[in-house]
Amino acid sequence: MTQLGFNAEGFQAFLSGRTEPDWVTDQRNDAWSQFNDQQWPTRREEEWMRTDIRLFKLDKFSMPSAENVEGVDDVTPLLSAGVELGGAVHSHNGICLADSMSDDLKEQGVVFGSLDRLVSEHSGLLESLLFQRAFDREDKFAALHASCWTGGQLLYVPRGVHVEQPFHVLSSLADGGVDLGHTIVILEDGASATLLAETACSTEETEGLHCGAIELIVRDRANLRYVNLQNWGQRVWHFARQKAVVGRDAHLQWTSAAMGSRLSKVNQHVVLDGEGARSQMNGVLFTENKQHLSYHTQQYHKQANCYSDFLYKAALQDKSHTVWRGMIKVDEQAQQTDGYQRNDNLLLSNSSRADSIPGLEIEADDVRCTHGSTTGKVDEEMIYYAQCRGFTRKEAMRLIVTGFFQQIFDRITIDSVRDALGLAIARRVRDYE
């Protein structure tokens, strides 16, 4: 089996094995040049000063290959249990294994499936959008992804089409696997859809690399619900660029949950690009052992009369560490902006740590923007109260943690998602004396 390294020889071999439009190859070559010109981020940079990647070694991994799809284990999806789906995609080690969509949606012009396959079939649609509207090639990881992406998914919903059944994406990794998947969602004017995306490994000890990206393009008056569950094994390096552009009177509900990986560095940005655009960003983070999860978020108000609502909650146990750095940015012309930002952290052990850095950058004068952050420990009186009513200490802790996240669970309208997140978190809560 040929293993292609992330070097000049490997990149050229990677390109020669692909059949893609010329504009895609040009994009890859340009990004590869940027990748080689850029340095790896260091803690001297403000965005990375709380995240140490010195132990990360890219040369330990190889480029995804269709030859390297062994080790596919039965990975049980969490988000799609009991849900009637409109379509599904399963990728393993960055390669699409299967994709499907109902015939009824095909007749309505909906496109859903592997981006590897569809980038040629829908070249005219994607040439002006892929890596153009909702992707920032700001660092070496972003350039690496843009040059070497494989697999991925495309969801396209035509104008005025309302899709009731959710779409589902499952990305899995075997030990030593690499996932460079790219997700792009395009909802035309007045369309609506729901996409459930999750990651998984066969065991918690699976080692791997994910360097991915998400592009969400929500046109005027469209409505997108997007759920992203990051549940990699705890030896997976996770780097991601995620961005949404929301048009006039459009609505985006974006729910992110992160419970896996050894280290995560995620940039999640929402651009409110049309008057009356609305976004709601919900985040659930649960960390354990020595996990490090770092999220840099931005709510960017470019036009007037827009609304953004951001709520992230994190529960930390053992020696884990979370970093959240958030920004509400308001341009001068974005008058009558309404922006809300909040991050709450619950420390379940004395050795855990949560860094919370909210921020405002406002150039307009007719706005209402608020931000806040809290960090605290579990109230022993609450545990005692529960124990007096027959609960064990561990059961009491589970109730408290579940209650801590309840505000976000109440925002989730999809039962399978709400139940899956609640169960996954409850199972991880340890018994602390």
Whole-number average pLDDT of the chain = 93
Sequence-distant (≥ 6) Cβ neighbours of residue 343 within 8 angstroms:
311, 312, 313, 314, 324, 326, 356, 358, 372, 373, 374
pLDDT tens per residue across span 327-339: 999 999 999 999 9
Q: Is residue 82 pLDDT above 90, yes or no?
A: no
Average pLDDT score over residue span 253-280: 97
How far is residue 208 CA from its own chain's centroid?
A: 17
Q: What's the pLDDT at 431? A: 64
Residues in the chain: 433
**Cα–Cα distance, 82 to 420 (Å, whole number):** 11
| Confidence check: pLDDT of 292 > 90 | yes
Largest interatomic CA distance in the chain = 69
pLDDT of residue 118: 96
Least-confidence region, from 156-160, 222-226, 421-425: 421-425
Query: Span 270-283, mean pLDDT?
Result: 98
Residue 280 pLDDT greater than 90, yes or no? yes
pLDDT band for position 397 (cuts 50, 70, 90): confident
- Strands 95-101 and 87-92, bridge-based pairing: antiparallel
Share of the chain above pLDDT 90, in %: 81
- The count of other CB atoms within 10 Å of the CB of residue 376 is 11
Model pLDDT, residue 4: 84
> Quick one: pLDDT band at residue 411, thresholds 50, 70, 90?
very high
Residue (of 348, 342, 340) closest to 315 by Cα position = 348
Q: Residues with Cβ < 8 Å from 233, sequence gap 6 or more?
A: 173, 201, 202, 203, 204, 205, 206, 207, 208, 260, 261
**H/E run at residue 125:** helix 123-126
**pLDDT given at position 425:** 87
CB 395 within 8 A of CB 386: yes
| Average pLDDT of span 36-42 | 95
Q: How far is CA 284 from the centre of its chain?
A: 11
Burial of 76 (0-12, 13-18, 19+ CB in 10 A): exposed
Cα Rg of the chain (Å, integer): 21
Among 101, 97, 104, CA closest to 85: 101
If pLDDT is split at 50, 70 and 90, which confidence band does 75 have?
confident
Please give the residue that has the higher pLDDT: either 113 or 402: 113
- Is residue 181 pLDDT above 60, yes or no? yes
pLDDT of residue 153: 97
Taking the C-alpha atoms of residue 231 and residue 200, their distance in angstroms, rounded to an integer, is 5
291-306 as b/e, with b when 16 or more CB fall inside 10 Å?
A: bbbbbbbbbbbbbbbb
pLDDT higher than 80, residue 73: no
Checking if the pLDDT of 69 tops 70, the result is no
Contact 164, 136 (CB under 8 A): no
- pLDDT, tens only, 199-255: 999 888 899 999 999 999 999 999 999 999 999 999 999 999 999 999 999 999 999
Q: Is the pLDDT of residue 71 over 90?
A: no
Residue bearing the bigger pLDDT, 392 or 55:
55
List the beta bridge partners of residue 173.
201
pLDDT at 37 over 70: yes
